[in-house]
Amino acid sequence: MRYPPLRFVGRILYSRTALEAEKAAAKLLQILQAKKKQRGQVAIGFDIEWRPTFRKGASPHKAAVMQLCADSFHCHVMHIIHSGIPPSLQLLLEDSTFLKVGVGICGDASKVYRDYNVCIKGMDDLSDLANKKIGGDKWGLASLSEALVCKELQKPKKIRLGNWEVKVLSKEQLQYAATDAFASWHVYEVLNNLPDIIQGVMDKKNEELESIAV
Quick one: pLDDT at residue 202? 40
* CB-based contacts of 24, cutoff 8 Å, min separation 6: 13, 15, 76, 78
Domain limits, the chain: 11-213
Mean pLDDT for the chain overall: 91
Considering only the top CATH level, what class is 11-213? alpha beta
Query: Going by DSSP bridges, is the β-strand pair 123-125/98-102 parallel, antiparallel, or unpaired?
Result: parallel
pLDDT, tens digit (0-9, with 9 covering 90-100), for 184-195: 999 999 999 999
Nearest to 44 by CA among 82, 83, 110, 97: 97
**pLDDT confidence of residue 137:** 74
Q: What is the DSSP-derived secondary structure letter of residue 61?
A: P
Predicted local distance difference test score (pLDDT) of residue 39: 80
pLDDT in tens, 131-151: 999 998 789 999 999 999 999
What pLDDT does residue 214 have?
Answer: 47
How far apart (Å, rounded) are the C-alpha atoms in residues 182 and 72? 7
